[in-house]
Amino acid sequence: MSANKNTTEMGLPYFFLTTSGLPPGEAYERWRTLMAPLYEVKPTTPYAVLPFGSNIAYQVGDLVAHRTLLSTQRLQRDRRRVDAGPDQYTFQLYRSGRYRGTIAGKAVSASSGTVTLIGRRHLIDGMLDQADTTGIVVPCTHLHGIPLEDHDLLFDAVRNRLLATHILNIYRRLPTTHPDNASTIANEFVAFLRRLLDPSRATDVLEGHELYGGLLALAKTMVQENLSRATLSPELIAGQMQISRSALYRMFEPEGGVMNFVQGERLRAVRDALADPMERRTISRLAEVYAFNTISQLSRSFRNCYGASPKAWRNERRAAQRIGEQGTLQHVWAWLRET
């Protein structure tokens, strides 16, 4: 298992821990030690495979953004762990896998695409099934006065979609975000949460124009949600927004046109994936995911935009990530608890 702190100028500081490659018994013990401040980790049955996983966490201002890959395992948070921790909320997206169990005494079932609202003070007892999660931890003080209890532990379909989009967009950007910009990202996310979750400020959430801060921002969000669609076009975006194509074209004139913006966002998505220590997809697979016709097209466009091939970019980032201070589990969790 590694615990690396990256402090290069090409991205935010992070801690990355994995049990990959360790013997099952050792992997379990180290994973259990890592998770101990938050959860007791157990196999799902006496004869089940021992739990293991990987975690990366970025400090984003006074928030923490993380991605965690977990094998099938049981998680429990008892009163002792609740009392020992800070007062925070985690907005956690299940990218794949599922959770079944109780949170704060309520039955919860969360599967791919679901965002859950988990309080650090919540008792938890449930099963995770091969889960890939991305979450953002927010101190409760930032959400003071917001009636979070009205939203329960899950969100309505519209708010869930907006949260999932924002969480993925923020996480995607972190490996290439300069530390000076971290507070801005944190403040924008908190402001978004307050608009989204305060009924007095998000009464028009189904329309979404005010929530997104304007039609152009809404259109850009729709682009983000559909980057993997080869059929993404001005017609599709205008149709979803219920505006004319000419109005859409006018909005994107400062961006060099609609499809120029789409192409730029696809290249940025590939760049950020290549910089992510948790990303294991091949360059060929990323070309497919982000709707490039061929890997040659991706490589040519990427080099024109960033001055290096995708392979060279990934190798450079991985080399930079290996140059860092070695930490311990205690350092990692002290950092997470204090943030």
Average pLDDT per 10 consecutive residues for the chain, totaling 339 residues: 41 84 93 91 94 92 93 95 85 96 94 93 94 95 86 85 89 90 95 86 55 72 89 92 90 94 95 89 95 95 94 83 48 53
pLDDT at 310: 95
Do 66 and 194 share a structural domain? yes
Domain boundary, last residue among 164, 190, 210: 210
Do 176 and 58 share a structural domain? yes
Do 150 and 19 share a structural domain? yes
Is residue 194 in a domain?
yes
| 33: containing domain | 4-210
Cα–Cα distance, 337 to 245 (Å, whole number): 49
Q: What CATH number corresponds to the domain at position 296?
A: 1.10.10.60
Is residue 320 in a domain?
no
Do 301 and 167 share a structural domain? no
pLDDT at 213: 55
**20: Cβ–Cβ under 8 A, 6 or more apart, which residues?**
27, 52, 54
Do 163 and 26 share a structural domain? yes
Domain boundary, last residue among 153, 184, 210: 210
Domain boundary, last residue among 210, 240, 265: 210
Task: Give the residue among 73, 156, 60 at the shortest CA–CA distance from 115.
Answer: 156
Q: What CATH number corresponds to the domain at position 47?
A: 2.60.120.10
Do 188 and 231 share a structural domain? no
Do 29 and 102 share a structural domain? yes
pLDDT at 317: 80
pLDDT at 297: 96
Q: What is the pTM of this model?
A: 0.83
The domain total for the chain is 2
pLDDT at 116: 95
Tokens at 290, concatenated: 């982000």
Is residue 269 in a domain?
yes
Tokens at 19, concatenated: 């049990």
Is residue 248 in a domain?
yes
Is residue 315 in a domain?
no
pLDDT at 84: 81
Do 282 and 143 share a structural domain? no
pLDDT at 8: 38
pLDDT at 320: 66
